[in-house]
């Protein structure tokens, strides 16, 4: 509300939270495809993109569920892995199809010893996965370059994103088990879907169609 | 390290917030009383029961004897306990409508996240001993009226998780897969629903209905749509109950059906609902029917007071800083008087006027004190020969003369 209130003027019918990075361009293209074009400001530091009846808020991937859950944004685009990790109860009606990756258990190639400690930036998913297997291994939360934990001996396995597998190959690591498949999802605030269904329903339908073709 | 003055997720209420809260509670108590609901109080301290629906979320304490207690985490099981104790026949299955209202604090021992407190006020009602579409409708109507009474425009979503359960039965969804599938339906996660249905090799009309159910939300037409290819009698009953609830309403404008409401608190077994308001992203209240879980026949709802007041605040925002001066609005009707004259003050209070006793020892200090506290008038002791009320001093420029006259006549009244 602090953001939208003063400088933003009247709230457009749709406020959408988008993650920085590669997914941003794809999200903007898909929104444009369904008639919700926003102007990308010249200033690369800009955090808000305005369009006709729509405003995009640009933020870190992991913050999207918070903005949408609290209703500061009506909808958003976020990786399924982030939703799983946040334990989010948001509506996730559209699989946008891009940003595909796997969340996997990774070990040094040929490792056969016991898994006692697992490093990950997905502590929740990792803990649930280990619990499902009945493993008592300890989970260490890291913020990035998680593979390093394996290489340096901090952990004997890691749970991390695998896209092409190139990083694994380069570091002589191997994907032992796939825990979840992820791709970008269009998420919607629960109240917004019920209060603005006349406009969100057709939007969801259009996004599904667009995702299917793309 | 500095210690926070309060545990995380726990906060003080300043006088303004406390007043807003008290006023809202009074408004709701009045609404429920007018509909024949009897207010009850249930203890904040309970015995910890492992099968309590929120046992894992409860704050636990150890009793002197070593047994484990819990702070109240949910009013509904507490009310059910009251019914089992005080109305054993109803708890054993007697059909007899009992209406209760409650308000108070609940505590949740959860990770304190942004904008989620751990101690919050709930206000709600329970309609026990009866199960019918008409009873469901009464609760949904009162849910709507509660939101309206607090000055907000409601939108209520209504669903019946029994429909999804019936679809699961019809499609033969294995027990171990039901939680995950209900969760995916509840999140309207179409791709996850399809993946799970295919992953479990489910086929046929019931499986198709499961794939479609997340998108069945909207007006009464969604019930007709679902009824047109309903797989079993149980699914039909769940849908007909929803249709029956809607039929009870002349004005269905604020209601919206969502057949994909699949996952709620463990005790709900029938029609459930949530209320929202415009431009506020979180539900204001939630409730539903829990026949056969906590009691044979019962339903109710609880409203989150903090949420509602935040929504009221948000709705008011556009007017802030505008021409309307909120700080003095309503002051004319309810003036604040500071007084050095205890006898005169008593007369004003007896007439309902707010009078703060000055603790200053002489008029000049009393005046300074009165200004500091934001009083509208200062009442000084009358000298010999003066008429009572003569020493009433107006402290605000442009004060309301009608109010002043009223105060003067109260002070001068016969029998003083």
Nearest Cα to B282, choosing from B114, B145, B53, B112? B114
Q: Where are the domains of chain A?
A: 2-99+183-213, 101-182
User: In the block, which residue shows the tokens 């009045």?
Assistant: B30
- Report pLDDT digits (tens) over A36-58: 998 888 888 889 999 989 999 99
Confidence of residue A184 (pLDDT cuts 50, 70, 90): very high
Beta-carbon separation of B191 and A71 below 8 A: no
Q: Which of B114, B188, B276 sits opposite A91 (nearest CB)?
A: B188
Listed by number, the residues of chain B in 280-319 with a beta carbon closer than 8 Å to a beta carbon of chain A are 280-283, 314, 317
What SS3 state is found at A35?
coil
Among the partner residues A1, A88, A190, nearest to B314 by beta-carbon distance = A1
Question: What residues of A are in contact with residue B111 (Cβ under 8 Å)?
Answer: none
For residue A96 the two structure tokens come to 């946008």
Residue of B nearest to A186 (CA): B189
Rounded average pLDDT over A19-32: 92
Kindly report the CATH class assigned to A101-182: alpha beta
Domain ranges of chain B: 15-318, 336-412
Strands (E), B212-270: 217-218, 255-258
B415 contacts chain A (CB < 8 A): no
Binary contact (B278, A195; C-beta < 8 A): yes
- The per-residue pLDDT of chain A, averaged, comes to 90
Res B156: pLDDT: 96
- Mean pLDDT, each 10-residue run in order, chain B (416 residues): 83 92 97 98 94 89 95 96 97 97 94 75 98 97 96 95 94 92 94 94 93 93 88 92 93 90 81 93 94 95 95 74 45 82 91 94 93 93 77 85 89 68
With a pLDDT cut of 70, the percent of chain A lying above it is 95
With a cut of 50, say whether residue A4 has pLDDT above it.
no
Fold of B336-412: Rossmann fold (3.40.50)
- Asked if A128 is an interface residue toward chain B (Cβ–Cβ < 8 A), one would say no
The pLDDT of residue B388: 66
Q: Name the CATH code of domain B15-318 (choices 3.60.15.10, 3.30.930.10, 3.30.470.10, 3.40.1260.10).
A: 3.30.930.10
Are A2-99+183-213 and A101-182 equal in CATH topology?
A: yes
Interface of B with A in 111-130 (CB under 8 A): 114-115
Name the A residues in 62-121 with CB < 8 Å from any B CB: 66, 68-72, 74, 88-95
Helices (H), A46-189: 64-69, 80-86, 123-133, 147-152, 166-170
- Return the closest-CA partner of residue B276 out of B249, B307, B245, B313: B307
Q: Which residues of B touch A8 (CB under 8 A)?
A: none
Euclidean distance between CA atoms B133 and B238, whole angstroms: 11
Would you call B214 and A93 a contact, using CB atoms and an 8 Å cutoff?
yes
User: According to CATH, what is the number of the domain A2-99+183-213?
Assistant: 3.40.190.10
Judge: A69–B191 Cβ closer than 8 Å, yes or no.
Answer: no
Smallest CA–CA separation between B315 and chain A, in Å? 11
Q: Do A191 and B189 touch (CB under 8 A)?
A: no
């Amino acid at each position: 509300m602090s953001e939208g209130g003063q400088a933003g003027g009247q709230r457009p019918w749709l406020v959408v939270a988008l993650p920085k990075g590669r997914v941003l361009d794809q999200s903007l293209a898909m929104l444009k495809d369904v008639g919700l074009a926003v102007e990308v400001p010249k200033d690369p530091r800009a955090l808000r993109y305005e369009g006709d009846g729509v405003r995009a808020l640009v933020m870190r991937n992991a913050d999207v569920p918070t903005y949408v859950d609290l209703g500061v944004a009506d909808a958003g685009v976020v990786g399924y892995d982030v939703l799983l990790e946040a334990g989010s109860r948001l509506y996730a009606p559209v699989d946008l199809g891009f940003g595909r990756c796997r969340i996997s258990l990774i070990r040094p190639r040929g490792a056969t010893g016991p898994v006692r400690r697992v490093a990950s930036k997905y502590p929740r998913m990792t803990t649930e996965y280990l619990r499902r297997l009945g493993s008592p291994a300890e989970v260490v939360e890291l913020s990035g370059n998680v593979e390093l934990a394996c290489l340096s001996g901090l952990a004997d396995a890691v749970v991390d994103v695998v896209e092409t597998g190139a990083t694994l190959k380069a570091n002589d690591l191997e994907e032992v088990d796939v825990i979840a498949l992820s791709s970008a999802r269009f998420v919607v605030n629960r109240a917004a879907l019920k209060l603005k269904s006349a406009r969100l329903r057709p939007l969801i339908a259009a996004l599904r169609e667009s995702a299917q073709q793309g | 390290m500095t210690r926070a003055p309060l545990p995380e997720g726990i906060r003080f209420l300043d006088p303004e917030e406390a007043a807003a809260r008290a006023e809202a509670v009074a408004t709701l108590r009045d609404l429920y009383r007018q509909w024949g609901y009897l207010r009850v109080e249930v203890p904040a301290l309970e015995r910890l029961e492992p099968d309590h629906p929120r046992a894992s979320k409860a704050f636990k304490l150890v009793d002197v004897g070593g047994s484990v207690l819990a702070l109240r985490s949910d009013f509904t099981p507490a009310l059910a306990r009251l019914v089992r104790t005080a109305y054993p026949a109803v708890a054993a299955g007697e059909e007899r409508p009992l209406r209760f209202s409650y308000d108070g604090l609940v505590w949740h021992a959860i990770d304190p996240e942004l904008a989620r407190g751990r101690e919050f006020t709930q206000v709600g009602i329970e309609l026990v001993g009866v199960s019918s579409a008409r009873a469901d409708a009464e609760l949904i109507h009162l849910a709507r009226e509660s939101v309206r009474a607090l000055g907000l425009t409601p939108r209520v979503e209504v669903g019946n998780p029994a429909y999804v359960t019936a679809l699961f039965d019809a499609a033969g969804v294995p027990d171990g897969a039901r939680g995950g599938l209900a969760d995916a339906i509840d999140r309207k996660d179409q791709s996850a629903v399809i993946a799970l249905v295919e992953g479990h090799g489910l086929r046929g009309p019931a499986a198709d209905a499961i794939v479609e159910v997340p998108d069945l939300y909207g007006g009464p037409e969604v019930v007709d749509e679902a009824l047109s290819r309903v797989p079993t009698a149980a699914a039909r009953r769940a849908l007909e109950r929803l249709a029956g609830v809607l039929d009870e309403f002349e004005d269905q404008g604020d209601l919206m059906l969502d057949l994909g409401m699949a996952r709620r608190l463990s005790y709900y077994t029938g029609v459930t609902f949530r209320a929202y308001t415009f431009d506020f992203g979180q539900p204001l209240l939630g409730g539903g029917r829990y026949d056969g879980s906590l009691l044979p026949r019962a339903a109710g709802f609880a409203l989150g007071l903090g949420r509602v007041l935040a929504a009221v605040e948000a709705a008011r925002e556009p007017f802030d800083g505008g021409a309307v001066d909120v700080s003095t609005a309503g002051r004319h009707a309810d003036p604040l008087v500071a007084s050095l004259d205890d006898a005169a003050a008593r007369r004003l209070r007896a007439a309902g006027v707010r009078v703060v006793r000055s603790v200053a020892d002489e008029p000049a200090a009393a005046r300074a004190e009165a200004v500091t506290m934001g009083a509208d008038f200062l009442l000084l002791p009358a000298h010999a020969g003066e008429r009572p009320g003569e020493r009433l001093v107006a402290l605000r420029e442009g004060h309301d003369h009608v109010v002043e006259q009223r105060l003067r006549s109260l002070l001068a009244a016969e029998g003083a």
